[in-house]
Structure formats: C-alpha cells, structure tokens
Amino acid sequence: MLRGLGHEVSFATPDGARAHADPLMLSGEGLDPWGWIPALAKITLAGRFLRANQEGRDAYRAMREDRSFQQPMRWDAVTIDDFDGLLLPGGHRADGMREYLESPVLQSLVVQCFRAGKPVGAICHGVLLVARSIDPATSRSVLFGRKTTALTWRLERAAARLGRLVRFWDPTYYRTYPDPRGQPAGYMSVQQDVTRALEQPSDFIDVAPDAPHRWRKTSGAHRDTLSDWTPAWVVRDGRYISARWPGDAHRFAVEFASLLR
C-alpha cells in the first residue's frame, strides 16, 4: 500500500533471508478442529473466516514478487540515515515472532529513530517491540510519556478463546506469550505488556465507549478499506503512530504515509 502511495519500501530480516507469512493464516488449513489430521486439513470451514481475507492474500502475493521483499537487508545492516521512517508489522505466535520482539538490534534501531525524530509506525504486536525499546539515556521505554494503542486484550482474548476450540491440540496458537502460572489472565497480553512500559495506564488508548461506530471498531468482525475507515482505530502521538490489528491496516498505512510526507 505504501508503494501505491508513492513511497519506496525496503524489507529487513534477521539474516537477510527472504521472509514468509504464517501459512495457516494464508490458507486457513489447520484452523479447524480436524486440522491436525493430514487427510482432512485441506477442508476448511472456520479456517475460511479466520485466515487473511482475499485482499490480504492478494496483497501478500504481490509483495512476494517485489524485489526488495525477495532480497531483504539484514537487521544489523539497517542504518537510520538511509531511511525516512520505520514501520514495524505485527503477527502472533508464528516462527520467529519472539526473535523479532526480543531483538536488541531492532530495539536499538527503534531508539535511534525516536531520538532522530523520524516517523515510526507500529501495528499489533509491533507495538510490543517499540514498548520494549529502552532508551539508555532515560532507562525507560521510548513510549514512556507517549500515547499508544496496540492489539487489545479484548481482541487477543477473543482469538485465544476461539483458538482453543478450533485448534484444541495447540491451544496457545493465538498467544505469543502465555500467562505465567500465578498471574491473572492477560498478564502477558500485548495490551498489558505495552501498558507496563507507559508512564500511566491511561496512555494506552482504546476505543472509547461512546466512539462512533464502536461495534465495527471493536467486534473483530470488520476490517477497514481505503474507502471505509469506520472499523479502524489508530493513535498518533507526534511522529509515532500505532494501530491494533489488520482491521486497521488501511488507515494506518495512509496516516503513516502522511508522516513520511
């Protein structure tokens, strides 16, 4: 989408190898109660609704043909002087997700971007990477004193509950970090993990109870488009912009592009 808005996009991975999306979220195979049976896995019912929508799958196919995507940079080769901004995507418990969220290299890059005043955009779990980026000058997260949103516990909990039903043999598929024993439900959710890095809990901005189109924004059943932003929820604080999940992606991309301009 950023290419369509006139921007050049580069990709980066841990070792410079080509990345790939979680195949379950593309095909939906394995997201039904019989998904663990090889002979039945290709039969998708719930999987058709849980997987990426058609527009998302089409966008992924187009991205795979992009030369920059096919030949990504290494994380440790990225320097902020070569770029106008940094965009941090999300995900959940797919291979490599914890490596991404816990990378000292990426956390340092985030700190450098905030110090330089360059636009930073983060969506879904990408916000967790930002929250974990500690500025050595303050010993605090770069989000301390800022407003943000991220994948909410409401959305994450709904996905986790559904996941326990349709993928019962892998009940934590939708939880990147399961809650430790003895901690309340949601302790390691994205929302609570991010909130612990903020100056005050109220700096995590969720959809207000009286917000227009609240049901479309919070139900998890609606996704925005370029022509309809009513399901989207995006929070901007200076040159930092955050969003919750793929249902916010169109508005998130357009507003991030506006920061680049």
What's the pLDDT band for 96 if we cut at 50, 70, 90? confident
Taking residues 29-38, what's their average pLDDT? Answer: 95
> Does residue 95 carry a pLDDT above 80?
no
Could you read off the pLDDT of 170-214 as tens digits, one per residue? 999 999 999 999 999 999 999 999 999 999 999 999 999 999 999
- Alpha carbons within 13 A on the beta-carbon side of 91: 19
pLDDT at 170: 93
| Residue 47 DSSP SS3 | helix
> Does residue 9 carry a pLDDT above 80?
yes
Q: What are phi and psi of 97, to 5 degrees?
A: -70, -45
Write b or e for each residue in 96-120: b if 16 or more Cβ atoms lie within 10 A of its Cβ, otherwise e. Answer: ebeebbebeebbbbbbbbbeeebbb
> Does residue 62 carry a pLDDT above 90?
yes
pLDDT more than 90, % of the chain: 95
> Does residue 66 carry a pLDDT above 80?
yes
Could you read off the pLDDT of 210-241 as tens digits, one per residue? 999 999 999 999 999 999 999 999 999 999 99
